[in-house]
Every structure is written in structure tokens, then in C-alpha cells.
Amino acid sequence: MKKIAVLLIGFVISVGQLRADEGMWPLIMIQQLQDSMQARGLKLTADDIYNINKACAKDAVVRLMSKQNRMFCTGEIISSEGLFLTNHHCGYGAIQELSTNEDNILANGFWAKNKGEERKANFNIGLLARVEDVTSKMLDSISLTMDESARAKAVADKLTKLQASLKEGLGADKDNYVVEVVPFYAGNKFLAMYYMVYKDIRLVGTPPENIGKFGGETDNWMWPRHTADFSMFRIYANADNKPAEYNASNKPYAPLHFFPINIQGKNPEDFAMIMGYPGRTQRYTYSKGIQYFASKERPMRVKVRRDVLDVYEEFMHADPKIKLMYADKFAGLSNYWKKFMGEASALPQQQLFEKRKAEEDKLKSWITANNKGAVYNELFSLYDQAYAQQEKYGLYSVYFQDGVSNSQPMVFALGLSKLEALLKDKSKSEEAKKAADEMMKELDEQYKEYFDPIEVKVLATVLMHLTEDLDHANLPKELVDLSAKYNKDYSKMASELYAKSFLTSKEKMKAFLASPSAKKMNKDMIYVIANAYMNKMNVDMRPISMEINSKLSRANRLFQAAMLEMDSKKLYSPDANGTMRLTYGRVLPYNAKDAVSYKEFTTSKGILEKYTPGDIEFDAPKKLVEMLKAKDFGQYADKDGELHACFLTDNDITGGNSGSPVINGRGELIGTAFDGNWEAIASDFGFDANLQRTISLDIRYTLFIMDKFGGAGYLLNEMKIVK
């Protein structure tokens, strides 16, 4: 164990073998990247980017988090008064929640004329205070090859205690922080992340949806792009500039740092740096794992999601009220539907299986030549066994995530399982009553975005996929029997179950909770099927899933430890895991395929070329069209006289980086990252330097929409504009 620890501590020795544009780097590695970055055009020092003792760039990067503090996007502070930018699709849920049929700001856009008009948004943001290497604390007395179940328990116990201890160490300020201890390199290294969490966030402005989502799903993941994918919010704090719950007396947050905005433009080969919170990558996936994802897991996710999306679209296209109601659900589901579809196609085409197999063969040879078999040989058999089991059992969790979890009545059913347990225990009748009363308070919110014709069709879709696609031996007997009873007429089956269920309307649920009974629950077949499916996964199949996870966890850790030991002078970027990372590269065009080459930027000409009046994806406000035709660009025109809309860099990003700042060599904001390109859509599994591009919104188009189109030029007074 000590030898491995030494290798990991020294894994930042050399960057000479590394492509400068590959990797999502933890901030504690920035010192070792400084020379390479400066050779590319960075004018800042590593301390200007990350330093816990002085204001620096990391202090202007915000982590968007749910009210439960789950990360979902990135943003950047652009003024001394806590104003920050993120993507339109990141602010989409908050904007939708603030929209009504009478005041549909999602469709029409919104700009607060003053701070008093800013609207409360339902999410938090985290500001990274510092990163601490806690590997020695986590792995003390834990060896690399100890029994896996014992190791997993020991690591979990230490992680829980260490997080609590680190938070307690913050003293009186502890309630303002979230402390996360996060594994890197498959659990060979651990870092503690300290986030100060601000809870009073307010919407300042958003363009209309047909600007912020121009191009819709057709353009999603594609280049060239012309969408103004941005929204603006403000952080509020108490009188001491500390986090506080929403209060009218709170003041705009005074940041330690905010990004100056450069509107001078950019050129090919210019340095570009992105800081943000990439979610998850799987760059070290075993070769048989690549096969599983390409041939089975991703295609099945695509199929289930597409069928649910078809139901949504049928009703959303017919009624603006339903479109608003389901807009956020549709956006979230469709974004990853297209990503998974691209991955299913791209993984075989990019020969990732062959590349990974070659790397594994090289590692096998090194293990043999260096007599490391006692430590590392088992990793290959563990992988083989785990993926053989995944082939047989892996889809049950997929169909829960992409099937059951997309049926609202089934989700409601799962939320009642604890109440059923209380009702069955006569000694806990008071607890059951309190639980029912608490649930009663949530009904308005629960059924706020709920439309019967959609939900009954989605239920039929989910029941069909569960029954037709999965082995009946591992399905609830009740579901199998009903399928036979209805002769696989899932529409009729869903309609009749839906009509009889107390889960399918606020009124029926209210009546049930007023006098709940376990007997009534177990007569409701939606409740029975949903909970029986969950029980199959969590009880009957739990030993299998635990065995698979244990094998994969051990194999991943051994593989990455062996990799680091085999090539100890190479700097490996750990997989993304929701923590702040930095990636650097250049403004670059690319060759997509034979005879297809793309420029590195788009202009407003493309908006006019794509504009289709009344189209659900390519419509645009008449005011914008007229301004673009008149070339009324003001100070936001490029030196070529055009209004640039979006641009490309070769930065290495993934989901979670949405909304991340794109920064030039002087630390000035030049754009906001919002997407990757189709040709490199499988980048979570492997980086291709020739193809991978980050698609970003040009900051000049952002300011043009805010100022000249939206009439919110007064916000420029808060910003530092570099002309």
C-alpha cells in the first residue's frame, strides 16, 4: 500500500508526454500544468487560478445545486454584485417554475428592470473554498488487496466520519458549508471539497425560449450552432456577505473575484481555458464494458426514452399549456436520449473496444514481466465475470431509471412504501398518521405538472417495455400475470389500472391519505407492480447487483493502480466526478469526416438561414430577425462586421460543464460552454483530439441579446468590459 501511495502522490511529476488539450484536471494539479498552459498562451499563473489564500479565478466559478445540494451545472460570476451567467438549459427548470400561463417567461423571456423585480429561483449555488488531499486519512490501515466487502465497509465508515469531522472543524461557520470527500482513480486517491452554499438565488434575466433554445433537439449536440443558450441569476447574502435563506433584506453577494468580459473577439489557435463541474466520465472502462454499453445498455436506454418522448410530444405540440407543464421533463429526458443514441452509434465506429483491448494487453505484459501477478492478475477475471453478469442482469436497473422513474404514478407509489410499513405495525399508528399528514402537504407540488392523457400513455409504454424486454423470471409475478390476462394489450391494461388507482389524481390521493390503509394499497395494481419491481431489485436481485458492483469496484481500482505504477512519469487525468476541473486548449475548427470541414465560429447569418416562422424549433422573435437583417449589432460586432453567435475550442468537457466559463489567456470571459459535437459524442469513454470540440456561446452574442434585444443594457454598468 505504501508503494502505491507514493506513486499517487508523485503522479504529477511530468507533463511532457501529455497532449495539452486532453484531460479534466483537479485544481490541486494546476501548479504542475502551469508551464504547459503558459506555452499555449496563458498569461496567468497557477496561483491566479487556484489559491486558498487570495482571490483567484476559482472564486468566480459557481456550482449549481438543487435544494438537496446535488450538482447539475456550472456558472460564472460576471459582476461585483453577484450577477452570474449559466446556460438557458441549466436555468430552464427554475424559469419554467416561475412561468404561468398568464406570464409565460419561458416562452416570452424576462429581464428585471431593477433588483426589486428579480424573482426567487429554486436552487442553491456552491462556491469552492478549498480542496484538501485526504488520501492518507482515508486509506490508513486499508490495503489495496484486502477483502473487497471489508474494504468497502471500512472506506464507507471512514468517509462518513471524515466528512463529519472536517465539517465540525469549520466551527461556527459549519452550517454554511457542504463538505464532500470524493474518490479519484477508482478509490486510489481521495480529495475533500469544501463548498460554501448560498441559498438565496434570483432570476435576473432570460431570453425567450425560441432564442435560448433555438434549434431545439434537431441542433442539440450538432455543429454549426446558433442558439443563445444563456440565462442570468444573482446571488444574495446576509449583511455579512454569508449565506442566508431568501429574505427581502438580503444584499447582493460581493464576490472575491468576478470575470472581466472581453468583447474584442478571438482568432484560431487562441488559448482557451474552461473551469467547471464535469459530471461523470468513464475513460477507463474495460473493453468488454465498451461492448456492453455499445450493444445493449445504450440502445435500450434510447428505445425506452424515445417512446416516452413520443408521448410527451404528441400532447405538447397540441397545447401550449401542456408544453409549458412538461417542458422541463421533456428537456431533461431528450438531452440524454440523443447523447445515448450517439454513443450507441459512435462507440463501435471509434474502435474504442480495440484500443482498450490493446491497452489491457500491454498492461498484462507489464504485470507478467514485473512479477506483479500476485497483486494485479485477478483484475482481468473480475472484469470478465462482472460484465458477463451485466449482460444478463444489467438492464433491470436501466429500465427502472429510464422506465419506472418516468411514470409519475409509479414514482408516487414508491414514495408510499414506508407508509405501508408503518400501517402494518399497529404500534406505529401515530407515526403513520404523521407521515400521511406530511405527504398531504406535498400534494399540490406533486401534481402541479401532471396531465392524465400523458401519464396513462406513459404508464402503458413502461409496462410494455418491462414485460416485453426483460426476462419474466426476474419480473414481479403480478406484472407477468396481468400481461397474460390482457393478452399484451398494454393500452387497455394501463387504462384500467389507471382508472382504479388512487395514485392518479390529487383528489384521490388526498382521500386516501385522509384514511390510509395497507389493504387499499395492496389492491392498487400500480402500487403493487411498482413496489414489487423495486423489491425484486433491492431484495431478490440485490446479492447479484452487489456482487457485480464489488467485482467492478475492485477491478477498476486494481486496473488504475497498475496503470499508475506501470507509467509513473505520465500525468493521468482522473475521471470526472462532479468536482471542479480545469481544461485548456485552443479555438479550433475541425474536419468532421471526408470532405466535411467546419469553421470555428458561426454568425447571425446562420440564424436567418435556419429561421422558419412558426416552427417549434427554428422560429425566432420578429424583433430579433429584423435586427439581424439590419445588422444592428452595435459594439458586439466582430472586426469582420458580423455578429458571431457560437464558437469551437478543443477543450475536454462533459455533462455538468454546461454553463462553464470559457476564459482567454488573460483570465477574461469570452464565452459560455454549452455542448459537445456529434462526431465526438462518445467522449465520456475516450478522448479524440482530432474530433472533440466544445461548443460555446460567444459572450458578444450574449450581451447583444441582453442589451440590444432585451433592453437590459443597464446591467453592463455592473460588469467590467474589455473592448
Contacts of residue 353, Cβ cutoff 8 Å, sequence gap at least 6: 287, 290, 291, 294, 347
- Residues 407, 501, 573, 658: which is the catalytic one? 658
CA dihedral in degrees (263, 267, 270, 276; nearest 10)? 50
Long-range contacts formed by 171-179: CB under 8 A, 24+ apart = 173/242, 176/242, 176/243, 177/129, 178/69, 178/126
- Residues 21, 48, 219, 229: which is the catalytic one? 229
Q: Which triple of cell numbers denotes residue 409? A: 404514478
573 three-state secondary structure = coil
CA dihedral in degrees (467, 471, 476, 478; nearest 10)? 50
- Residues 88, 89, 226, 644: which is the catalytic one? 89
Q: Which triple of cell numbers denotes residue 134? A: 485526504
Q: Which triple of cell numbers denotes residue 500? A: 382504479
Contacts of residue 299, Cβ cutoff 8 Å, sequence gap at least 6: 344
CB atoms within 10 A of CB 375: 17
- Picking from 272, 271, 273, 266, the residue whose alpha carbon sits closest to that of residue 644 is 266
Containing 383, the helix (H) or strand (E) segment is helix 378-393
Q: DSSP state, 59? A: G
Residue found by looking up cell 435500450 in the block:
300
Between β-strands 669-676 and 661-663, what pairing exists: parallel, antiparallel or unpaired? antiparallel
Q: Which triple of cell numbers denotes residue 350? A: 471509434
Asked about 658 being catalytic, the answer comes back as: yes
Asked about 89 being catalytic, the answer comes back as: yes
E strands within 493-643? 581-586, 590-593, 596-598, 601-603
Contacts of residue 607, Cβ cutoff 8 Å, sequence gap at least 6: 214, 226, 620, 624, 625, 628, 645
As a whole number of angstroms, the distance between CA 712 and CA 698 comes to 18
Active-site residue set:
89, 229, 658
